Amino acid sequence: MQKIQVIGLPGSGKSTQIAKFRNFKPDVQLLDIRLFNGGRRDRLFKQAIVRTERDLIAESACGVYVKGSIVVHLKTPMRRVYAQLFKRDGYVDEDYLSLLSTQLIPAQYTIDVPAELPELLSLLMEK
């Protein structure tokens, strides 16, 4: 059983690339921090990761410390993040992005080409 956290700034392509991966591995559970609400959402997200008893991809901007999880940082170039956010949301909050970028947990893997994420996830799930 693998627990993989995919972290990266909003607009970096996490959701898009994870969806492509799940087209080939639909049995892998997905947890997205966006599904958790309230002031303790990080704690609830972490508890859900810990309690999961099957292959899992947990998606968030910064990640949470979970023993034994593999952390993959999708480090998309900032100009692409800005373009994606502007296309998706119609604006870019540079201060928020700057704050998030200082809060990311350490990653075992870092990739800067979003299209490479599905292949990396496949390799990691095979371990």
Segments making up each domain of the chain, as ranges: 3-120
pLDDT tens profile 20-77: 999 999 999 999 999 998 889 999 999 999 999 999 999 999 999 999 999 999 999 9
Average pLDDT over residues 84-99: 95
pLDDT, position 39: 85
Neighbours of 113 (CB within 10 A): 12
Q: What does the block give as tokens for 19?
A: 């969806």
pLDDT band, residue 89 (cuts 50/70/90): very high
Helix (H, G, I), strand (E, B) or coil at 3: strand
Residue 127 reports pLDDT greater than 90? no
Q: What does the alpha-carbon distance between residue 99 and residue 21 come to, in Å, rounded to a whole number?
A: 29
Which CATH number applies to 3-120: 3.40.50.1000, 3.40.1380.10, 2.40.70.10, 3.40.50.300?
3.40.50.300
Per-residue burial over 25-57, b = 16 or more CB atoms within 10 Å of its CB, e = otherwise:
eeebebbebeebeeeeebeebbebbeeeeeebb
